[in-house]
Structures are given as structure tokens and as C-alpha cells.
């Protein structure tokens, strides 16, 4: 028999097993990758939370700024409104006279002259006017009612329709359309600035300026009287006493004798209430 070859005998060996180290490495990589992803997710979540917080703060800041702007705007609007109201209260006798004069007339009743003024809106081509009763007393006393109005060299015929002797008021009607003056619904106050328009001594379109001195009690059943310091004379009777808002507050009636700066007027609401002409 042949002798065996020296050394290790060779025979058919099985395939080596798959190394365990590769699987372990893959597992470690997967765990690390998962941890990294988790960390990234946590960081992103925190960033998103921070961004939301920043956005909420920005919105809150914007709301505060907007509220501040709105408040400043409201304040400015209030100041503008207040300035407008103050401007409307500024005493401008020239503007008051310009607005009132077209509605004021010289009135002739018999031998007496005075002043009358239109009130309210014309109706069916007819205007209503007011004057002082003592201006038309002579005509009315003898049963007459016809008087003459004069304005800008034009003459108009008018009729006395009603009187209040106690309060020195007479109501006229004229078949013409005259612009009526607005009347105040507020009681006068001492110190209130006024303009008196009339025809003293026949001098038409005369304007005097003053203030309300006081509100006086009338006598012999008459209502209150407005005392004012604007200069008036015979011929002013029946003329309008007007406030800064171009509203009639009274009807000039008389002045104290042997004195200056004491004129009296019938409150316009006395006429408005009784005759419903305002």
C-alpha cells in the first residue's frame, strides 16, 4: 500500500458560519440612527415651540401697538371735535349780523316805528314775524291790523294777527317768503354773549353787542325778562336778541330810563310756546 503523504489530511470542509460581528454593528447603527432622529425631533419640536412663542409675543406686541394707535387716533379725533365745537362757539358778531340781517325789518305801525323779524319757515307763501306789542299798540288799539315792513328800500304789507300785551309780543303775517331765524330752546345764562339787531331812531340794520346781565322776574303777570347790556334805543323794540349760534334768544322790549347798559327782552320761548310760530 502506498504510504500516506506526510502532513494533515485534506478532506471536504463545510462553509464557514456568517460572522456575528456584522449583525451587531448594524444593530448599533440602527440604535444610534434612531437616537439621532429622536434628538433631531426634540430639537425641532423645541424650535417650533420657540417660534410659536415668538409669534404669540409678536402678535401681542402688534395688538398693543394697534391698541395704542387706536387710542391715539380716538384722542386726536376727540381733540378735533372739541376744537370744532370751540370754533363754533367763538363770538363773531360780524358773522352773526350777516346771518340775521336779511330776516330783520323796520316796521311802521301808524306813527310808531320799531323792528320786526321773521321766524320759522314760510308756509304757502306766507311768513310769520314777531315784534313788540307796544310797537303796534296804537294800530291794534283802534281796531286796525295793517302795518308796513321795510327792508333794503323795499316795502311789504303785513297784518297783525295776534298779541300778548302782558309779555309785549305781537305776531305778524306777511304774504311773502322771508327766511325765518332759528330760535334757541336753551335758557340764557348770565355772561352769555349776544347781538341785538334793529332800527334805533329809524336807523335800519343797526347792530350792537353785549352780554346777558341777568334773568329778571316780570311784573303784573308777565313772564321772565332777559336783562342785557347791549345799547338799544327807541326803534330797537321788537328786534331779535341773538346768541353766538345765530339763534334768537329774546325780543327786545325796552331800556331802563336815565341809565345806560340796561336793556330788557322777552325770552323767545315765551312767544314760541304761546303762538307756536318757531
Catalytic residue (one of 199, 206, 213, 237): 237
Q: Cell numbers 310760530 correspond to what residue? A: 277
DSSP string of 101-125, one letter each residue: GGGEEEEEETTEEEEEEEEEEEETT
Closest CA to 104 of 180, 193, 20: 180
pLDDT at position 83 is 61
Q: For residues 51 and 41, give the distance between their C-alpha atoms in angstroms, rounded to a whole number.
A: 15
pLDDT at position 13 is 55
Say what percent of the chain tops pLDDT 90: 63
Catalytic residue (one of 103, 127, 134, 199): 134
pLDDT exceeds cutoff 50 at 7: no
Catalytic residue (one of 103, 127, 168, 206): 168
- Pick the more confident residue, 56 or 174: 174
E-state strands within 139-218: 146-151, 154-164, 169-174, 182-183, 193-198, 206-216
Catalogue all structural domains in the chain, each as residue range(s) with its CATH number.
Answer: 93-270 (2.40.10.120)
pLDDT exceeds cutoff 60 at 10: no
* 258 labelled catalytic: no
* 168 labelled catalytic: yes
Say what percent of the chain tops pLDDT 70: 87
pLDDT at position 124 is 93
Antiparallel, parallel or unpaired: β 154-164 and 112-123: unpaired
Q: For residues 29 and 177, give the distance between their C-alpha atoms in angstroms, rounded to a whole number.
A: 106
* 6 labelled catalytic: no
Mean pLDDT over all residues of the chain?
A: 87
pLDDT digits (tens, 9 = 90+) for 223-235: 899 999 999 999 9
Tell me the residue length of the chain: 278
pLDDT digits (tens, 9 = 90+) for 50-74: 788 878 888 888 888 887 777 777 7
Grid cell listed for 112: 310808531
The terminus-to-terminus CA distance of the chain in angstroms comes to 159
Residue 221: CB partners within 8 Å, gap ≥ 6? 166
128, 117 in Cβ contact below 8 A? no
Amino acid at each position: 500500500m502506498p504510504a500516506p503523504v506526510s502532513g494533515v489530511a485534506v478532506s471536504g470542509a463545510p462553509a464557514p458560519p456568517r460572522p456575528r460581528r456584522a449583525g451587531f454593528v448594524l444593530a448599533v447603527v440602527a440604535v444610534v440612527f434612531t437616537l439621532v432622529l429622536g434628538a433631531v425631533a426634540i430639537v425641532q419640536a423645541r424650535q417650533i415651540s420657540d417660534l410659536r412663542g415668538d409669534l404669540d409675543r409678536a402678535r401681542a406686541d402688534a395688538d398693543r401697538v394697534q391698541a395704542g394707535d387706536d387710542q391715539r387716533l380716538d384722542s386726536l379725533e376727540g381733540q378735533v371735535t372739541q376744537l370744532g365745537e370751540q370754533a363754533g362757539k367763538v363770538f363773531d358778531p360780524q358773522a352773526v349780523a350777516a346771518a340775521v340781517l336779511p330776516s330783520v325789518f323796520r316796521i311802521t305801525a301808524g306813527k310808531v316805528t320799531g323792528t320786526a323779524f321773521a321766524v320759522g319757515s314760510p308756509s304757502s307763501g306766507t311768513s310769520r314775524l314777531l315784534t313788540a306789542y307796544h310797537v303796534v299798540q296804537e294800530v291794534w288799539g283802534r281796531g286796525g291790523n295793517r302795518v308796513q315792513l321795510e327792508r333794503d328800500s323795499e316795502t311789504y304789507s303785513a297784518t297783525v294777527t295776534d298779541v300778548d300785551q302782558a309779555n309785549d309780543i305781537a305776531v305778524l303775517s306777511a304774504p311773502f317768503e322771508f327766511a325765518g331765524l332759528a330760535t334757541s330752546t336753551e335758557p340764557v345764562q348770565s355772561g352769555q354773549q349776544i347781538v341785538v339787531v334793529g332800527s334805533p331812531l329809524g336807523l335800519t340794520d343797526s347792530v350792537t353787542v353785549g352780554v346777558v346781565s341777568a334773568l329778571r322776574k316780570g311784573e303784573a303777570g308777565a313772564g321772565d325778562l332777559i336783562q342785557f347790556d347791549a345799547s338799544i334805543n327807541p326803534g330797537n323794540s321788537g328786534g331779535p336778541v341773538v346768541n353766538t349760534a345765530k339763534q334768537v334768544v329774546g325780543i327786545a322790549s325796552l331800556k331802563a330810563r336815565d341809565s345806560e347798559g340796561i336793556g330788557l327782552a322777552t325770552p323767545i320761548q315765551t312767544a314760541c310756546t304761546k303762538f307756536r310760530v318757531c
